[in-house]
Structure 1
Amino acid sequence: MKAKTLGLVHTSATLVPVFQQLCTEYLPNVNVFNIVDDSLIKDVIAKNELTKLTSRRVVNYVGSAELAGADLVLVTCSSIGAAVEASAELTGVPVLRVDQPMADLAVQTGKKIGVIATLPTTLGPTSDLVKRRAALAGKEIELTSRLCEGAFEALMGGNPAKHDEMVAKALIELSAQVDVIVLAQASMSRVVDNLQESEKKVPILASPTLAIKHIADLLKD
């Protein structure tokens, strides 16, 4: 049987090794290739929104992944989720936004769901996705969104320790108010790894591992 091929579309080169490691672990028999363009996320941040032009570029990258032989395409950036959903309608292979499996698990896990992000451009799309996945599942939820202002700037400014400290503080505070927490950005998941077990009062979900596990299940069929 011919090996399956997964195309990954990234808006940051830093995510390539993260997903490479996950694919090696969970998709050992799947061919994987990467398309990276960080100008997409830079444009979203600069304009504080996902523009029609950037959306069209995302659609083009997903189409390129299909032409390159992908049996399934995963887009690893939550900020461009709306464009990913649009591209799914125009592509002949399954297209997945990285945060969908995480949103589905959050809806299954509890009623009070917290969403935390360091960028407003990610907080909105992920919160919207959780609400829509809950509606699709017929579940009522209470959503609490939390923006860690200044954390992303600290990370980009070469101060990851400050970023991690700010995110950890927000996670601990939010965990007292909700049943489950969703990390809107993959870059925040390392903060969870460094929290004490006593500080993890509720499940804290990160998208990369959940997305790759979901793809492993899809490709079994």
Structure 2
Amino acid sequence: MQTVVAIYTGQGLAEPLKKVFQELLPDIRLISIIDDSLIGDVNRAGHIPDLVSRHLVQYYRHAEELGADVILNTCSSVGDVAEVARTVIGIPIVRIDDSMAARAVASYARIGVLATLPSTLEPTLRLIQSKADEAGAQVQLVSGLAEGAFDALIRGNPEEHDRLLLETAKRVAETADVLVLAQGSMARMEQALAEATSTPVLSSPRSGVEQVKALLTAALEAKKA
């Protein structure tokens, strides 16, 4: 049985992502490592502190010890750590937003990025620009920070969170061909935002798991060859 270790910096995405795994990869062994102190440390610092990076690398190494075939890094805010760790970890590390970013630059020129936290917005913008550079594509990035939305969610007011995100999406959609959701936890809003803005919306959870599935399938085929 193949094993995937998903590493979370918060609680919110674990259950929704588990359902995607059950749909797309029902026969794998899925292990979740959740340390919800990490995203708080990133948000307070406004960047990824060294201690957070060290903890994440420790979790990647632990995933190796658990027999993981693939590691899924589920938090876009710490995607840069996953990128660097690929050079020292002996198994593939998938950034949950990697495929989403590649799809965006392959199909659209004006890309709006929606986030509720600056610590997620900036890494996602960098990732998309990196994918564009790799593909030789010219893209225009439009930042969409829904200020106050994350705080509303923390206060237990998801309706206010959704309202602020929707307002931001409508504004960004005026100058964008596609909307990219920087946080996987925002995927539940994908359809509502697309309908409200008449603009395609991309989210990361499903495409991230699809990338994991592709790697696992390729590994099985290589063993058979």
**TM-score > 0.5 by shorter chain:** yes
Report what 1:203 is aligned to.
Answer: 200
Q: How does 1:47-196 map to 2 (within 5 A)?
A: 47-195=45-193
The alpha carbon displacement at 1:189 in A equals 1.8
Does 2:210 match 1:213? Answer: yes
Return structure 1 stretches of 4+ with deviation > 6 angstroms.
none
How far has the Cα of 1:8 moved from its partner?
A: 0.3
Match of 2:221 in 1: none
The alignment yields a C-alpha RMSD, in angstroms, of 1.2
- 3-state SS in 1 of match to 2:48: coil
Task: Read off the aligned partner of 2:142 and give its amino acid letter.
Answer: T
User: SS of the residue aligned with 1:82?
Assistant: helix
Q: Given that residues 190 and 202 in structure 2 are in contact (C-alpha distance below 8 angstroms), is that contact kept between their aligned partners in structure 1? A: no
The letter of the residue matching 1:69 is: G
Larger mean Cα displacement after TM superposition, 187-196 or 160-169: 187-196
Shift of 1:56: 1.2
Using the size of structure 1 for normalisation, the TM-score is 0.95
The answer as to whether partners of 2:169 and 2:193 remain within 8 angstroms in 1 is: no
Name the CA distance, whole Å, in 2 between partners of 1:168 and 1:175: 10
For 2:185 and 2:13, how far apart are their aligned partners in 1? 8
Superposition deviation, residue 7 in structure 1? 0.5
Query: Identity percentage over the alignment?
Result: 39
Q: Cα gap change, 1:130/1:52 in structure 2, threshold over 3 Å: closer, same or farther?
A: same
Residue type at the aligned position of 1:79: S
Q: Measure the CA separation in 2 of the matches of 1:219 and 1:177.
A: 38
The 8 Å contact of residues 122 and 185 in structure 1, kept in 2 or not, is answered as yes
**Residue in structure 2 matching 1:45, options 29, 32, 43:** 43
Once residues 50 and 186 of structure 2 are traced to their aligned partners in structure 1, the CA distance between those partners, rounded to angstroms, is: 28
1:94-129 deviations in Å (ceiling 9; x for gaps)? 001111111001011101111110000000000000
One-letter amino acid of the structure 1 residue matched with residue 204 of structure 2: S
Deviation at 1:30, TM superposition (A): 1.3
Q: TM-score, normalised by structure 2?
A: 0.93
Q: SS of the residue aligned with 2:91?
A: coil
| 8 Å contact from structure 1 (residues 168, 192) kept in 2 | no
Q: Give the CA deviation at 1:200.
A: 4.0
Distance 1:180 1:195, change over 3 A: closer
Residue 184 (structure 1) shift: 0.6
Q: Secondary structure at the match of 1:101?
A: helix
The one-letter code of the counterpart of 2:10 is: S
CA contact (8 A) 1:74 1:95 kept: yes
How many Å apart are 1:193 and its aligned residue? 3.1
Distance 2:32 2:102 in 1: 25
